[in-house]
């Protein structure tokens, strides 16, 4: 999540305090009434560090599959489809998914409402590429291990997991949202047999972020 404007930040803090860790997203999207300025992470463009990655990583094979987690308003999913992936994109918010379908009526992306914490069984280890941008950090630290396990479970053996996240240089729990990831939290990916292929630090709104490419080992 980017740094929201101050009044939206206060609104998000109130929503987080009032509801379970995922229920407030739908409230925020619905309250925005189609105004993307009210959705602090929505830039109506693909993430520049996804676009940069796609320049140097052309899809291998015939239409490999890609899954976009917490796809928001759909720009990253559209970029992956344009690059040649067969894309499934999901979000917990029905309003966000309806918004994607309205923005991209002729899309070949399969936009779906689904919950990362209750993923369909047929998605287990099913996707050649999984794109996870700024969703883990949007969920509280006390469910981090569960969220990371869920993200990891979607990647096919030998497949790629591309993560974009804010990074915190201390293990102390931050005052989120967002709750940027720490070194020990990122280490969970290695513990579940993901190899780090590439890590690129960058600044977003003057805060340290990482783009990390992992590969799932073939036997696990």
Ligand X SMILES: C[S@@+](CC[C@H](N)C(=O)[O-])C[C@H]1O[C@@H](n2cnc3c(N)ncnc32)[C@H](O)[C@@H]1O
Minimum CB distance to ligand X smaller for 111 or for 194:
111
Q: Which residues of the shown chain bind ligand X in the complex (CB under 6 A)? A: 1, 22, 25, 41, 70, 72, 91-93, 96, 115-117, 133-135, 138-139
How near is the Cβ of 44 to ligand X at its closest, in Å? 10
How near is the Cβ of 137 to ligand X at its closest, in Å? 7
90-112: b or e for each residue (b if 16 or more CB lie within 10 Å)?
A: bbbbebbbebbeeebeebebebe
**Whole-angstrom Cα distance, residue 177 to residue 13?**
7
Minimum CB distance to ligand X smaller for 33 or for 62:
33
Minimum CB distance to ligand X smaller for 13 or for 193:
13
Residue 104: what are its φ and ψ, rounded to 5°? Answer: -125, 70
Minimum CB distance to ligand X smaller for 45 or for 195:
45
**Whole-angstrom Cα distance, residue 107 to residue 128?**
20
In the bound complex, which residue of the shown chain has the CB atom lying closest to ligand X? 70
How near is the Cβ of 219 to ligand X at its closest, in Å? 28
How near is the Cβ of 28 to ligand X at its closest, in Å? 8
> What are the beta bridge partners of residue 213?
162, 198
**Whole-angstrom Cα distance, residue 37 to residue 32?**
8
């Amino acid at each position: 999540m980017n740094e929201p404007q101050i009044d939206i930040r206060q609104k998000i803090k109130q929503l987080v305090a009032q509801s379970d860790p995922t229920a407030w997203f739908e409230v925020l999207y619905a309250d925005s009434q189609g105004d993307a300025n009210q959705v602090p992470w929505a830039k109506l463009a693909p993430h520049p560090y996804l676009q940069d990655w796609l320049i140097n990583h052309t899809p291998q094979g015939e239409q490999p599959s890609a899954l976009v987690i917490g796809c928001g308003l759909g720009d990253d999913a559209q970029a992956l489809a344009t690059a040649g992936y067969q894309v499934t994109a999901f979000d917990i918010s029905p309003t966000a998914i309806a918004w994607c379908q309205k923005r991209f009526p002729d899309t070949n992306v399969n936009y779906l409402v689904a919950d990362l914490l209750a993923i369909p069984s047929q998605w287990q280890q099913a996707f050649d590429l999984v794109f996870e941008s700024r969703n883990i950090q949007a969920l509280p630290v006390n469910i981090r291990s569960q969220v990371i396990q869920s993200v990891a479970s979607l990647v096919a053996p030998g497949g790629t997991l591309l993560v974009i996240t804010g990074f915190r240089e201390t293990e102390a729990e931050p005052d989120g949202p967002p709750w940027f990831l720490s070194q020990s939290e990122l280490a969970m990916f290695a513990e579940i047999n993901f190899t780090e292929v590439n890590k690129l630090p960058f600044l977003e709104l003057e805060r340290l972020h990482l783009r990390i490419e992992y590969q799932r080992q073939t036997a696990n």
